[in-house]
């Protein structure tokens, strides 16, 4: 029974050590050491392996080494192969740190103060209590829910929107298109933590920005393709949005000369909001292999119909 890791050498070495210590019954292989593709039951990769169906006839589970699975073409994946998102503590904690950090920086006007400092302007802005800063999260999956829990003690009015109805403690939950409009109308800081699917591609567009209160801010930690770039630029330039924090772009890296680089109201980070921890990933994958062996569904199994 072989687990094939396709990825960087450093990550492979860390994962190999975890497998050796915790799952000696599973042969950990990398592409250069693999001699019998038919023995492969599990693959972990960020991008889809070529000729997967023909090359690995006994593949049971394909693990994404990240939280997202939009890089895989679900239609090209054999129906019997389970695709599994990475659900892992470090990945969740990283996202909580990045999003809460961004929310606080926006809430306390730190981006506006950074601009004022550059212009040598000593200017106080009114302080808004947290109870009057409404946070709306697009997406209420593992990451969205963890961010909401972290923000709850501070007293922000919290809302979340997702496809299906949910009950979340201390959070007003919305679903469906009408729910989206209702949430946007009462959101001062909007955070995108949606999976990228055909339904969510381009969701951060003029129509959506127009439904936010004037001066709202955006944090995009989903995927670059959630955003219609020109619409964001217009919304910022016209003052309808006050600030954007973007950790993702399309393509990545962002090409030189792109208007986002130098924009005074955009903070850009290079897709580092949350980064996979190799040790944690190996542990999560071993736990899922054990679950699968007992006939249980792996944690993070992708629903093919939903695409995430
Ligand atoms: C990163 O974006 C991931 O999907 O983990």
Distance 86 CA to ligand 1 centre (A): 9
User: Is residue 229's pLDDT more than 90?
Assistant: yes
Q: What is the mean pLDDT of residues 203-228?
A: 98
Q: Are residues 69 and 82 in the same domain?
A: yes
Instruction: Please choose from 46, 65, 67, 99 the residue to mutate so as to test ligand 1's pocket, defined by most ligand atoms within 8 A of CB.
Output: 67
β-pair type (158-162, 61-64): unpaired
| Ligand 1 atom nearest residue 271's Cα | 2
In eight-state DSSP terms, residue 256 is: T
Contacts of 235 (CB under 8 A, 6+ apart): 206, 209, 241
| Ligand 1 atom nearest residue 86's Cα | 5
Q: What is the mean pLDDT of residues 186-201?
A: 98
Contacts of 264 (CB under 8 A, 6+ apart): 115
pLDDT of residue 44: 98
Position 30 in a domain? yes
pLDDT in tens, 250-280: 999 999 999 999 999 999 999 999 999 999 9
Q: Are residues 44 and 97 in the same domain?
A: no
Q: Give the integer Cα–Cα distance in Å for 161 and 194.
A: 9
Catalytic choice (108, 271, 290, 291): 271
Check if the beta carbon of residue 201 is closer than 8 Å to that of residue 227: no
How much is the mean pLDDT over the chain? 97
Check if the beta carbon of residue 283 is closer than 8 Å to that of residue 20: no
CATH number at residue 247: 3.40.50.720
Q: Give the integer Cα–Cα distance in Å for 94 and 288.
A: 21
Domain count, the chain: 2
pTM: 0.96
Tell me, yes or no, if 223 is annotated catalytic: yes
pLDDT in tens, 70-115: 999 888 889 999 999 999 999 999 999 999 999 999 999 999 999 9
User: Is residue 155's pLDDT more than 90?
Assistant: yes
Among protein residues, the one with the nearest Cα to ligand 1's atom 5 is 66
Q: Give the integer Cα–Cα distance in Å for 188 and 197.
A: 25
In the chain, % of residues over pLDDT 90: 94
Q: How confident is the model at residue 50 (pLDDT cuts 50, 70, 90)?
A: confident
Check if the beta carbon of residue 43 is closer than 8 Å to that of residue 56: yes
Distance 192 CA to ligand 1 centre (A): 13
Position 215 in a domain? yes
pLDDT of residue 146: 98
Q: Are residues 33 and 83 in the same domain?
A: yes
Long-range contacts of range 33-41, CB-CB < 8 Å, 24 or more positions apart? Answer: 34/2, 34/4, 36/2, 39/1, 39/2, 40/2, 40/3, 40/4, 41/1, 41/2, 41/3
Q: Are residues 108 and 124 in the same domain?
A: yes
Q: Give the neighbor-by-neighbor strand order of the sheet with 2-6.
A: 27-30, 2-6, 40-45, 61-64, 82-84
Q: Give the integer Cα–Cα distance in Å for 206 and 193.
A: 18
Among protein residues, the one with the nearest Cα to ligand 1's atom 1 is 66
| Ligand 1 atom nearest residue 223's Cα | 2
Position 198 in a domain? yes
| Ligand 1 atom nearest residue 68's Cα | 4
In the chain, % of residues over pLDDT 70: 100
DSSP lists the bridge partners of residue 161 as 138, 174
Which residues sit with their C-beta closer than 6 Å to ligand 1? 66-68, 276
Q: What is the mean pLDDT of residues 147-175?
A: 97
Q: Give the integer Cα–Cα distance in Å for 206 and 152.
A: 29
Contacts of 142 (CB under 8 A, 6+ apart): 67, 87, 92, 300
Residue 185 CA: distances (Å) to CA of 107, 111, 136, 143, 218: 18, 23, 10, 23, 14
Q: Give the integer Cα–Cα distance in Å for 28 and 25.
A: 9
Q: What is the mean pLDDT of residues 284-288?
A: 98
Residue 55: which domain range? 2-88+276-293
Q: Are residues 83 and 20 in the same domain?
A: yes
Position 303 in a domain? no
Q: What is the mean pLDDT of residues 13-31?
A: 97
Q: What is the mean pLDDT of residues 282-300?
A: 97
Q: Give the integer Cα–Cα distance in Å for 136 and 31.
A: 43
Give 164: exposed, middle or buried? Use CB within 10 Å, 0-12, 13-18, 19+.
exposed
Q: What is the mean pLDDT of residues 289-301?
A: 97
User: Is residue 123's pLDDT more than 90?
Assistant: yes
Catalytic choice (223, 226, 283, 292): 223
pLDDT of residue 153: 98
pLDDT of residue 201: 98
pLDDT of residue 200: 97
Distance 303 CA to ligand 1 centre (A): 18
């Amino acid at each position: 029974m072989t687990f094939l890791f396709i990825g960087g050498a450093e990550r492979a070495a860390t994962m190999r050590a975890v497998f050796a210590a915790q799952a000696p019954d599973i042969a950990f292989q990398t592409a250069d050491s693999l001699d019998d593709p038919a023995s492969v039951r599990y693959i972990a990769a960020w991008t889809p392996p070529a000729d997967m169906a023909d090359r690995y006839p006994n593949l049971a589970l394909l693990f994404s080494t990240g939280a997202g699975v939009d890089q895989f073409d679900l239609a090209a994946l054999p129906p019997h192969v389970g695709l599994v998102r990475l659900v892992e503590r470090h990945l969740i904690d990283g996202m909580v740190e990045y999003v809460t950090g961004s929310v606080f920086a926006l809430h306390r006007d730190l981006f506006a103060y950074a601009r004022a400092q550059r212009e040598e302007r000593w200017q106080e802005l009114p302080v808004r209590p947290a109870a009057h800063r409404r946070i709306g999260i697009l997406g209420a999956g593992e990451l969205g829910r963890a961010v909401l829990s972290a923000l709850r003690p501070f007293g922000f009015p919290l809302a979340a929107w997702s496809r299906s109805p949910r009950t979340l403690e201390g959070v007003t939950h919305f679903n469906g298109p009408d729910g989206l409009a209702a949430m946007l109308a009462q959101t001062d800081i909007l955070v995108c933590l949606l999976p990228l699917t055909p339904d969510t591609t381009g969701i951060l567009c003029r129509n959506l920005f127009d439904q936010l209160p004037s001066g709202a801010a955006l944090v995009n930690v989903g995927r670059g393709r959630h955003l219609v770039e020109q619409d964001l630029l217009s919304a910022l330039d016209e003052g309808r949005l006050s600030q954007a924090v973007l950790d993702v772009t399309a393509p990545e890296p962002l090409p030189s000369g792109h208007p986002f680089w130098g924009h005074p109201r955009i903070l850009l980070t290079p897709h580092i909001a949350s980064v996979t921890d190799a040790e944690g990933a190996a542990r999560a994958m071993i736990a899922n292999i054990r679950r699968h062996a007992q006939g249980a569904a792996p944690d993070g199994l992708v629903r093919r119909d939903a695409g995430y």
